[in-house]
Chain A
Amino acid sequence: MRILAAMSGGVDSAVAAARAVEAGHEVVGVHLALSRMPGTLRTGSRGCCTIEDSMDAQRAATTLGIPFYVWDFSDRFKADVVDDFIAEYEAGRTPNPCMRCNEKIKFEALLNKAIALGFDAVCTGHYAQLRRDEAGNIELHRASAEAKDQSYVLGVLTRDQLEHCYFPLGDTPSKALIREEAERRGLGVAQKPDSHDICFIPDGDTRGWLAEKVGVRPGEVLDQDGNVVGRHEGAHGYTIGQRKGLHLGVPADDGKPRFVLSIRPVANTVIVGPKEALAVREIAGGRMSWAGEPLSHAESLFACEVQIRAHADPVAATAQLVPVTERTEQHRAEAEFEFVVTPDEPLLGVAPGQTAVLYQGTRVLGQFTIDRTVSAVSPSAVAGVNA
């Protein structure tokens, strides 16, 4: 195959490219320029967007003896990932920009360009596995290295995208083995630290960064009964389930800590309450996709596991694809169907905007963006984003 290896400058994508070369494929390395004004040197745990990272990727490509180019996706990245991130926060939701980047940049803009230029697949250093069922349909599965599994952030990929993906690290049991292999292959990035934080927020201070982009919009923090218990400088700075940094002037009656229960972006208020009130018994959303062949019986209840964050544990649940008949303001305007998922145990700290990925065992079924949640405490109280 002719393979385009996306090389971030990190150890994973370097080893992935090395394995593609070793498997006999014709490999070309590409580093994606995502920032219009890249920093010169890597700082802390952000490891993909500086000139140093680009140079690291180039050095790795040189070691592998493959051609290497830098392709500019900074305009697309700004429009589809950064601006989307701001807009989602402004709407009171909690987006995952890495998923958005996978969906719109790596496996859409890059993949489409690669295919148009004659490549068969895009290779990345993601920890996930591709398999085929007996009928030959492609399936996305969790990685062997449980701690590093990244199938969650790939849950947005569709069958057509998966057909052109190549994830050579999926069956390696641990990251330590990848680092050893990088060392053995003479790759200079073998001991480069992992990246964790959001790449476009240079100091990791998401709230400060958002305040700069969105501005300061002072408003009130209310308890569940509507009493003012504090003030905030912008509802966009809060995430559902957040406990730290609330600076509430009025203590709770029972003296227990309070958590952000919901965010009302239009009224610019933040609602806080006790931990129990965070419990959610149902989540639903209309922006959804199947990672491979759709389940044939999805309109009837089916058993699955649901995962709502990249590093959360999956929770047993029942799910169903339901036609949208009655539309509330929490429903996504354009959706005709939505996934409705009932976890066996209530979920805590679920924020609209987060992605719910549905699994059966190791297999990723599909995903949706959570539009609305139903509280486990009071069935009538809908937590989440309210106008």
Chain B
Amino acid sequence: MAIYFDHAATTPLAPEVQEAFVAALATVGNPSSIHSHGQASRALLEDARERVARELGADSAEVTFTSGGTESINTAIKGLYWERQSDRRRNKIVVAEGEHHATIAAAEWLEKQGAEILWVPLDEYGRITPDALRQVLENVDADEVALASVIWVNNEIGTVQPIAALADVADEFGIPLHVDAVSALGYVQINFSAQPLAALSISAHKIGGPVGVGALILSRNYEVESILHGGDQQRGRSGTMDVAGAVAFASALELSNAGFEERNEYLRALRDRLIDGVQQSVPGAVLRGAHPTSERASGNVHFTFEGCQGDSLLYLLDSKGISVSTGSACHAGVSEVSHVLLATGLDERTALGALRFSLGKNNTEAEIDELLAVLPELVEIARRAGVQSAS
């Protein structure tokens, strides 16, 4: 029997969302067209935009649909950076260590164009503290900073960042803050207007929507330079608008928010059952990420297993029908050493023993127990296979 513990990678398409998606796919007409077909499509699209805005505490004018999290993040970071050069040179970007690669790679690409990255360190639990952000901003001329970007929930270790407090610090220095909320969606209540944010990125497939749909929530107070040039169909984005994708995203978001409390309570219980079980039965397993579980995403369990290589464990679990992840980015099928774990102070060898179990609402206690029944033995086997490194 197959068990799926990789909801942070992607989630199953919810049946209700699939139904809405398929129905919307049948709509004929480009929403930018002037005729009645176009207007009918436009109505569906704008309805979806309003629904998304309502669910996130934003204005519909602030919602730009994109192809997903990576496009949203790239548009926010590059777009804000370029836009912020229009009245004076602001070549500094403030980025936290341990961000998703979409953020890091976008910032590092700008670095090649002359930007300077100021890194905000993480603490041992993966937290970005308001003090750490303040320290970086106090040591720089704030007028030279184009933007700051932080992740709301770390996609590997599940640490929930104090976004309201971080937003206040950025606001105090007059710096626009972008929040990567791709892995936060569905796990924290997002109210865009509750704190001073410039932009926020989300993706539908993390909450039971289809892959290939995302949104950039861009405050009225900011503009971005587009990265996709063309017909200017939306704020900060050109390209024919994906009506069905937008409808599916709106449905997924409403469904996710409607079941928010109940789902997260359920996931917290599952999560804690798994954490307790691993800690009791697997010597050398160390929980990574935030320990006060209030600062940990409800679906995230992340351990390092001493003396193991994550990919050995991943294979062994897969051979038992259990899908998990090493958590870190993959390059051509190889898990990289987690830059997040390194940023929390771990050495490379320890970081290679990482495994992330990300839970979803369809997981059951029985599945957790099934995992716990095989994990201690598999860790022993993986330990015998050792860690592949040069030494």
A31 contacts partner chain B, Cβ-Cβ < 8 Å: yes
| Nearest CB of chain B from residue A377's CB, rounded to whole Å | 44
A97 contacts partner chain B, Cβ-Cβ < 8 Å: no
B373 contacts partner chain A, Cβ-Cβ < 8 Å: no
| Nearest CB of chain A from residue B98's CB, rounded to whole Å | 21
**Contact between A117 and B333, CB atoms less than 8 A apart:** no
B311 contacts partner chain A, Cβ-Cβ < 8 Å: yes
Stretch at the interface among A72-80, A195-203, A219-227, A250-258: A72-80
**Residue in contact with A73 in the complex, picked from B316, B381, B386, B388, CB distance below 8 Å:** B388
Interface string of B355-391 (1 = CB under 8 A from A): 0000000000000000000000000011011101110
Knowing A33-B333, A54-B332, A67-B318, the reply to whether A117 touches B312 (Cβ < 8 A) is: yes
* Contacting residues of chain B (256-274) with chain A, CB-CB under 8 angstroms: none
Knowing A69-B311, A70-B333, the reply to whether A113 touches B386 (Cβ < 8 A) is: yes
Residues of A within 8 A of B332 (CB): 33, 38, 51, 54, 70
Residues of B within 8 A of A70 (CB): 332-334
* Contacting residues of chain B (295-317) with chain A, CB-CB under 8 angstroms: 311-312, 314-316
In the bound complex, how far is the Cα of B264 from the Cα of A134, in angstroms? 67
**Contact between B390 and A71, CB atoms less than 8 A apart:** no
**Contact between B382 and A117, CB atoms less than 8 A apart:** yes
In the bound complex, how far is the Cα of B388 from the Cα of A88, in angstroms? 24
**Contact between A117 and B388, CB atoms less than 8 A apart:** no
* Contacting residues of chain A (23-59) with chain B, CB-CB under 8 angstroms: 28, 31, 33, 38, 51, 54, 58
**Contact between A67 and B381, CB atoms less than 8 A apart:** no
Knowing A58-B333, A69-B311, A72-B334, the reply to whether A113 touches B388 (Cβ < 8 A) is: yes
Knowing A69-B315, A75-B390, A78-B390, the reply to whether A116 touches B385 (Cβ < 8 A) is: yes
Interface string of A98-141 (1 = CB under 8 A from B): 00000000000100110011100000000000000000000000
B319 contacts partner chain A, Cβ-Cβ < 8 Å: yes
**Contact between B388 and A118, CB atoms less than 8 A apart:** no
**Contact between B388 and A69, CB atoms less than 8 A apart:** no
- A77 nearest CB neighbor, chain B only: B390
In the bound complex, how far is the Cα of B386 from the Cα of A69, in angstroms? 17
**Contact between A113 and B312, CB atoms less than 8 A apart:** yes
In the bound complex, how far is the Cα of B258 from the Cα of A42, in angstroms? 50
In the bound complex, how far is the Cα of B333 from the Cα of A51, in angstroms? 9
**Contact between A117 and B389, CB atoms less than 8 A apart:** no
In the bound complex, how far is the Cα of B319 from the Cα of A118, in angstroms? 11
**Residue in contact with B319 in the complex, picked from A38, A58, A67, CB distance below 8 Å:** A67
Chain B: residues with Cβ within 8 Å of the partner, total of 19
The B interface is mostly helix, strand or loop, or mixed, namely helix
| Nearest CB of chain B from residue A123's CB, rounded to whole Å | 16
**Contact between A54 and B388, CB atoms less than 8 A apart:** no
**Contact between A117 and B386, CB atoms less than 8 A apart:** no
| Nearest CB of chain B from residue A57's CB, rounded to whole Å | 9
Interface string of A59-92 (1 = CB under 8 A from B): 0000000010111111110110000000000000
In the bound complex, how far is the Cα of B391 from the Cα of A79, in angstroms? 9
In the bound complex, how far is the Cα of B314 from the Cα of A200, in angstroms? 28
Residues of A within 8 A of B319 (CB): 28, 67
**Contact between A72 and B312, CB atoms less than 8 A apart:** no
| Nearest CB of chain A from residue B77's CB, rounded to whole Å | 24
Residues of B within 8 A of A71 (CB): 311, 334, 388
In the bound complex, how far is the Cα of B390 from the Cα of A67, in angstroms? 27
Interface string of B331-342 (1 = CB under 8 A from A): 011110000000
Knowing A33-B332, A54-B332, A67-B319, the reply to whether A116 touches B311 (Cβ < 8 A) is: no
Residues of B within 8 A of A116 (CB): 381, 384-386
| Nearest CB of chain B from residue A345's CB, rounded to whole Å | 43
**Contact between B333 and A54, CB atoms less than 8 A apart:** yes
| Nearest CB of chain B from residue A6's CB, rounded to whole Å | 14
**Residue in contact with B385 in the complex, picked from A33, A67, A79, A117, CB distance below 8 Å:** A117
* Contacting residues of chain B (138-153) with chain A, CB-CB under 8 angstroms: none
| Nearest CB of chain A from residue B81's CB, rounded to whole Å | 27
| Nearest CB of chain A from residue B307's CB, rounded to whole Å | 12
Residues of A within 8 A of B316 (CB): 117
Knowing A54-B333, A117-B312, the reply to whether A72 touches B385 (Cβ < 8 A) is: no
Knowing A69-B311, A117-B381, the reply to whether A109 touches B333 (Cβ < 8 A) is: no
In the bound complex, how far is the Cα of B315 from the Cα of A31, in angstroms? 13
| Nearest CB of chain A from residue B382's CB, rounded to whole Å | 7
Supply 19 A–B pairs (Cβ within 8 Å), ascending by A.
Answer: A28-B319, A33-B332, A38-B332, A54-B332, A69-B311, A70-B332, A70-B333, A71-B311, A71-B334, A72-B311, A73-B388, A75-B390, A79-B390, A112-B385, A113-B386, A113-B388, A116-B385, A117-B312, A118-B381
Which 9 A-B pairs have CB atoms at the shortest separation, nearest pair first? A70-B333, A116-B385, A75-B390, A116-B384, A79-B390, A72-B334, A51-B332, A33-B334, A113-B385
